[in-house]
Structure 1
């Protein structure tokens, strides 16, 4: 049974790489082949170990009852010595020393049953090497000359569209399907080619969402104003604590609050944390205006957006 458990664990690995879970036509007896065989092989790998151990205990180990009187005080030295003697006797009667085949196959089965877990862990994703992080976690859809558009409607923004005290949600052009009403059919077709679709769209939106706020220029720190335009600043909408979307705007204090755990950021001072569990400032997006007067990003974020992670500051 222990040997069959090892075989089942190996067959789990074989099934994992043989059957495609995404292929709806890959079935066996009307069931998905991947799910069916992964369940059967892993189930038998665990079941055979349990049945084998029970069978060993019932057929090969000594079977006689022992009793021990309860006592409230600590055991005496004699009792402790007796326990050790009973333990040695139990080991002897179990046959674990005299039956190396049973012992070794049990240990082997326990080792092999870990293979499915190791293989299944590969579904968590690739190893976050520095180069992979730069392409994924540390890069967003924003780049130089990407226009800032209103979320949902996709309206392109000009500085004149924002009054002092205004805050709105925005996205980079290419994630929201909307056009400048003045655009010609040719221009619309050209813009359509830049739009992202499907899973790539959802992945891009998780990192690219921003908030756009306008304040009095005199209220901004020099470093904040340098990356803004005429009092307009753009920050990541993703809280640096655990990634909640931030939306609560205190116009008079220039503070932006996270509704999840009340982390508070000062948008007039580079998104500095003024309260709450967040440990990092909100990343600010450097912006300008293009030749037509629309607000655009001048680059991607200069630091990773969202919650901190272990390798965040590594090279």
Structure 2
């Protein structure tokens, strides 16, 4: 068996194919076959109407998207087979936006396949950097393609495409409404705004939930307070305390550097916002000897003896101070709101 050889014709035939034949030869381009729209103007007009109809449907779907945003309540639930019970707003927004984008894409594809030039043009590979001759050729090809696309000649196609493309971005603009209701002046005020000299609001110790007196505040100590009437059991407590929380410190008069800040306090007792002016983290670290308060999130440091000005870190503003005094019963009270907005900066705050 080892001496048996294959017929010569088998090997020679394969060798001949490898030598004289090129299995990777360029077969060239097939003969161009014109489309029906190339030779029948009625078919071309029909295709033009079909493409324009898709663009018009896209425009109507975009208008439907905006209308759905206004018509449907966010809590409205509907039954859609086979999806089940879903949000009417989400369903309508997804459906209309999907139709708007699909019709633009389908119209563009239909336009390219039926009305734009479809002549195949081979192009050899060339260096990335083109010479002047190639640039001129590309510009000329672009002009030729623009002319052959019929963009300038077929006005109905051009106008409906422009209309659908112009309306679709409105969907994104309308979605900005989901960022929430306009804040109006809510960022400017806190729960302490209800305090007036005639009707002050007591400072309540957040640990004991009892009103605070000056003799309760030890020099060098840090205490946290909230406004009278704000209870943890109430709905919206966390949202409100995020603006109303106070740091109460008592600093010896000789250590106070800012006399204006001292005038807003009572016998060395100062009330500052607990909310860091960087990104709104709660401040809870206090160093007695230096009177520095440290935000644990990004290490912004405030000097409470000097109007809570920033001495280190990314915070851009001092901590707002609340004016306090005592009422006829000797309890610490606030007589007004913060002079500056609490928390991080926003677009209306320099």
Q: TM-score when scaled to structure 1?
A: 0.84
**1:199-258 per-position Cα deviation (integer Å, ceiling 9, x unaligned):** 4x4442221111111222221132222111222111011111222221121111100111
Give matches, 1:292-307, under 5 Å. 292-307=329-344
Cα drift, residue 2 of structure 1: 0.8
Give matches, 1:20-59, under 5 Å. 20-23=73-76, 26-29=77-80, 30-59=85-114
In 1, Cα distance between equivalents of 2:65 and 2:168: 9
| 1:94–1:219 distance in 2 versus 1, CA, 3 Å | same
The residue that corresponds to 2:256 in the other structure is 220
In 1, Cα distance between equivalents of 2:116 and 2:141: 14
Say which SS state the counterpart of residue 15 (structure 1) adopts. Answer: helix
The residue that corresponds to 1:251 in the other structure is 288
In 2, Cα distance between equivalents of 1:58 and 1:174: 71
2:244 counterpart (199, 208, 225) = 208
Name stretches of at least 5 consecutive residues in structure 1 with no aligned partner.
178-195
In 2, Cα distance between equivalents of 1:255 and 1:166: 12
- Report if the CA contact (8 A) 1:153-1:176 is conserved: no
Give matches, 1:35-114, under 5 Å. 35-72=90-127, 74-114=129-169
- Report if the CA contact (8 A) 1:154-1:173 is conserved: no
Name stretches of at least 5 consecutive residues in structure 2 with no aligned partner.
1-53
Q: Are 2:171 and 1:116 aligned?
A: yes
Cα drift, residue 35 of structure 1: 1.3
Cα drift, residue 126 of structure 1: 5.3
- Report if the CA contact (8 A) 1:241-1:279 is conserved: yes
In 1, Cα distance between equivalents of 2:271 and 2:134: 74
**1:113-169 per-position Cα deviation (integer Å, ceiling 9, x unaligned):** 1222222223334556xxx32xx1111111231111122642221122222221122
- Report if the CA contact (8 A) 1:154-1:176 is conserved: no
The residue that corresponds to 2:60 in the other structure is 7
2:217 counterpart (162, 175, 186) = 162
**1:253-280 per-position Cα deviation (integer Å, ceiling 9, x unaligned):** 1001112221111001111111112221
Q: Are 2:69 and 1:19 aligned?
A: no
- Report if the CA contact (8 A) 2:56-2:160 is conserved: yes
In 1, Cα distance between equivalents of 2:97 and 2:189: 39
- Report if the CA contact (8 A) 2:75-2:87 is conserved: no
In 2, Cα distance between equivalents of 1:119 and 1:83: 40
Q: Are 2:311 and 1:266 aligned?
A: no
The residue that corresponds to 1:139 in the other structure is 189
**1:63-87 per-position Cα deviation (integer Å, ceiling 9, x unaligned):** 2333333333742222121111111
Larger Rg: 2
C-alpha RMSD of matched pairs (Å): 2.0
- Report if the CA contact (8 A) 2:74-2:87 is conserved: yes
| 1:220–1:81 distance in 2 versus 1, CA, 3 Å | same
